[in-house]
Amino acid sequence: MLKLSIALISVVSILDQGIAIAMLTALLISYARKKEEINISEERNINFLILAVFLSFLSFFLPKGVVFAAIFSSLAHKLKGGVFKNLFFYTVFGFPFFFYYYNTISTSIFIALSGAIAASLVESVQSRVDKQFTVLLALTTAYVIFTIYVPDASIFDLILALTISLLLSYLAMRMKIADESGLLAATLCGLIVILFSDFLHFIVLLLFFSLGSAVTKYKYQLKMQLGIAEEAGGARGYANVLGNSLPALFFAMNTYYGEIFSAAFVSSVACALADTMASEIGKTAKKVYLITNFKRVKPGTSGGISFIGELAALLGCFLTFLVSFALNIVDFDLLIVFAAFVGVHVDSLLGATLEKKNLLTNSVVNLLATLSAGATYLALKIAIQ
């Protein structure tokens, strides 16, 4: 009954948004006023409806159709399945709404597909959180972002970008470089970078994922014996992928506004690779010092730095920069290397302070570090100019 009501309200929203909001509010009240004991399923429905009503009132300030497209698409959550089944159904449920509002097949598929990847990512993560609730939140967020940022891409470009990203991510999962959530996160990253910038930028991002995963295996048995090896054989999950890639995606989405954003993108990716290399190689160093006071600490301590780790970080910065320069993405600008190296040490400082106190997770530290690398480049470049 709930699914049918949601579907009807979503269709009504196309004709009159105000009536749809009133109907959705009435549906929430009817569920909340039930006198019998509420079971877990009904409690989840109420939580879902509370979020849906809240978002529906925000729909007046958001791009057309976004909220009710997300509410309708969230019904695909009930169609349990694997990754590819989830991607298919979430895309199919979202597409008609965006095609009605935007009347462009490629744009409609891209927005629906982006939401599908976000929702499927939520489905793939093992959690006690109500997924019906978080799926709706993920769909709405993705739809809002990608109705504001829309790539100028044809159907062929979209299919090619999706095929390349999904295939490489799937191979990474098969090789145990990424888990299922990492597959979806990496697919979204590849899709965005290719469509908003070009394939060359994607190669730079691919350099981080491939070399970063390879260096994780460096002296892996020794790191296991020390108890500081990455879990699951170093397979990347969604948090690791997005923590290292979200700032790079932002810069890639803005390359349209000038080459300065391409350089910021490279700085961000260089920081991610350099930090991974410094961490994985530095863990094997005998002498490790805390960056805040330079006292000796155990290898693997958050915020720990070592001579070999610093060399590895510099190598990661230069390697990413040189590949990007060879691909003609950026000019010969050593400010990129400097900004990336600064970002690596922002990571160490945050690790030694906020992460150590459990105020930040490692993924959030990675995100802030890679963001600081790109932001440092932009700030210094603007200041110099």
Which tens digits make up the pLDDT trace of 273-288?
999 999 888 877 788 8
For residue 300, what pLDDT is reported? 78
Q: Report whether 80 contacts 119 (CB < 8 A).
A: no
> How would residue 160 be classed by pLDDT, with cut points 50, 70 and 90?
very high
Number of neighbouring beta carbons within 10 Å of residue 47: 14
55 pLDDT more than 60: yes
Number of residues in the chain: 385
3-state secondary structure of 305: strand
174 pLDDT more than 80: yes
Please state, in angstroms and rounded to a whole number, the distance separating the CA atoms of residues 362 and 315.
Answer: 22
For residue 152, what pLDDT is reported? 85
| 129: DSSP letter | S
Q: Report whether 51 contacts 137 (CB < 8 A).
A: yes
Question: In whole angstroms, what separates CA 218 from the centre of its chain?
Answer: 26
> How would residue 187 be classed by pLDDT, with cut points 50, 70 and 90?
very high
82 pLDDT more than 90: no
Higher-confidence position of 2 and 329: 329
Higher-confidence position of 15 and 232: 15
Residue with tokens 């910021």: 264
> How would residue 234 be classed by pLDDT, with cut points 50, 70 and 90?
low
> How would residue 38 be classed by pLDDT, with cut points 50, 70 and 90?
low
How does pLDDT run across 88-97, given as a tens digit for each residue? Answer: 999 999 999 9
122 pLDDT more than 80: yes
Please state, in angstroms and rounded to a whole number, the distance separating the CA atoms of residues 49 and 281.
Answer: 49
pTM for this prediction: 0.89
For residue 356, what pLDDT is reported? 87
37 pLDDT more than 80: no
Tally the C-alpha atoms within 13 A of residue 256's C-alpha that lie toward its C-beta: 12
Average pLDDT value over all residues in the chain:
89
342 pLDDT more than 60: yes
Tally the C-alpha atoms within 13 A of residue 75's C-alpha that lie toward its C-beta: 18
Residue with tokens 């970002």: 343
3-state secondary structure of 64: coil
For residue 41, what pLDDT is reported? 61
How many angstroms separate the first and last alpha carbons of the chain? 62
3-state secondary structure of 236: strand
Give the residue-averaged pLDDT of 235-247. Answer: 87
pLDDT above 90 as % of the chain: 62
> How would residue 222 be classed by pLDDT, with cut points 50, 70 and 90?
low
Give the residue-averaged pLDDT of 162-178. Answer: 89
pLDDT above 70 as % of the chain: 93
Give one DSSP letter per residue of 250-302, joined into a string: HHHHTGGG-HHHHHHHHHHHHHHHHHHHHHHHHTT-S-EEETTT--EE-TT-T
Give the residue-averaged pLDDT of 142-156. Answer: 92
220 pLDDT more than 80: no
> How would residue 229 be classed by pLDDT, with cut points 50, 70 and 90?
low
28 pLDDT more than 70: yes
Give the residue-averaged pLDDT of 244-263. Answer: 94
> How would residue 203 be classed by pLDDT, with cut points 50, 70 and 90?
very high
3-state secondary structure of 10: helix
Number of neighbouring beta carbons within 10 Å of residue 171: 12
State which amino acid sits at residue 281. I
Residues facing residue 290 across a β-bridge = 304
3-state secondary structure of 59: coil
267 pLDDT more than 60: yes
CA angle 72, 250, 196 (to 5 degrees): 75
For residue 30, what pLDDT is reported? 83
Helices (H) and strands (E) in the chain, counts: 16, 3
Question: In whole angstroms, what separates CA 125 from the centre of its chain?
Answer: 13
